[in-house]
Amino acid sequence: MQLTFTKSFVKDYQRLPSKIQTQVDKQLAFLLDKFDHPSLNLKKMKDPRNIWEGRISRSYRFTFQIAGDLYILRRAGKHDILQKP
């Protein structure tokens, strides 16, 4: 699997504190290495576009879609990003 980033994800990532950016990087490495890693706490959202959410930290999440052998990273931020994944 490979990662690809939407413009929204890149903007969100750049706005995150550097400590959280480091955590994002760690969680994305887990996503690539082991999809069912417990710290990711992955869940399929109730969204017709088949969007998933993953945990960055207690307060931060990221969203993504799966297309073939790609993880399309959509958003990253606090829980409120889940309102518009």
Note the pLDDT tens digit of each residue in 2-60. Answer: 999 999 999 999 999 999 999 999 999 999 999 999 999 999 999 888 999 999 999 99
Which string of b and e fits 6-32 if b means at least 16 CB within 10 Å?
eebbeebbeebeeebeebbeebbebbe
What is the Cα gyration radius of the chain? 12
Q: Is the pTM for the entire model greater than 0.75?
A: yes
Beta bridge partners of residue 54, listed in sequence order: 62
Q: Which CATH fold would you assign to the domain 2-79?
A: YaeB-like fold (3.30.2310)
Going by C-beta distance under 8 Å and a sequence separation of 6 or more, which residues neighbour residue 21?
13
Q: What single-letter amino acid sits at 6?
A: T
Tell me the domain boundaries of the chain: 2-79
Predicted local distance difference test score (pLDDT) of residue 85 = 81
pLDDT at res. 57: 96
